[in-house]
Structure 1
Amino acid sequence: MKHPLDDKTVDWVDQKKPLHAKVIFDNRFSIMVFAAHSASFTIKDVQEAVIDINRQAVRKCLIDLMDLNLLERVSIKTYKATDKAKQLFGVVV
């Protein structure tokens, strides 16, 4: 770690990255809690009940969670948590 008055040493760790990673994790975790306790849901449901971000960002989160086999698509607009995800959150399957 460099001294606050040292203007010649470069920080190798970007201070913004950990915050960004935390936001990404928090968004996906919040969606998973919501999904585990819902029978099924849509992107609009997530926007209204969980996090207020644009549709594309919610869709990206859902795709990431589907890649991890924590969510599955029921129809074109509807998603639900897998049994694996429900077990992680203590929901009776």
Structure 2
Amino acid sequence: MKDENDNKAVDWVEEKKSHIQILDNMIFVLNQFAKSPEPLCTKEIAYRLEVRLRTAQRINKALCEAGWLDFKVNRTTKLYFATDKAKQLFGVKA
């Protein structure tokens, strides 16, 4: 018979793992932008992360709000690029 508290420990570990995965994704995205010579669209980030487009939109929005990314609009597409803050984090010259 399984102890009922065992499930709580497993849930806590799985919850932490998802937070770590989110952090890993954010770092990966910032690194992609910092090292890219050209701005990237949301579709490209979704492809590189292997996530849905909506997830990539949320990531880009959160990073913009935090000052890590900025964007420009090219016709109907937002093109995102790393701010100096993000480039400095990865040792890329601004």
What TM-score, normalized to structure 1? 0.82
What TM-score, normalized to structure 2? 0.81
Structure-2 change in CA distance of 1:16 and 1:85 (3 Å):
same
Gaps of 5+ in 1: none
**Which one has the bigger helix percentage?**
2
- The 2-side partners of 1:44 and 1:21 are apart by 23
Q: Which amino acid aligns with 2:69?
A: L
* Residue range with higher mean Cα deviation, 68-77 or 56-65: 68-77
Shift of 1:9: 4.7
Q: Which residue of 2 aligns with 1:16?
A: 14
SS at match of 1:78: strand
SS at match of 2:70: strand
- The 2-side partners of 1:87 and 1:64 are apart by 19
**Which one has the bigger strand percentage?**
2
Greater C-alpha radius of gyration: 1
Gaps of 5+ in 2: none
SS at match of 1:74: strand
The Cα RMSD (Å) is 1.9
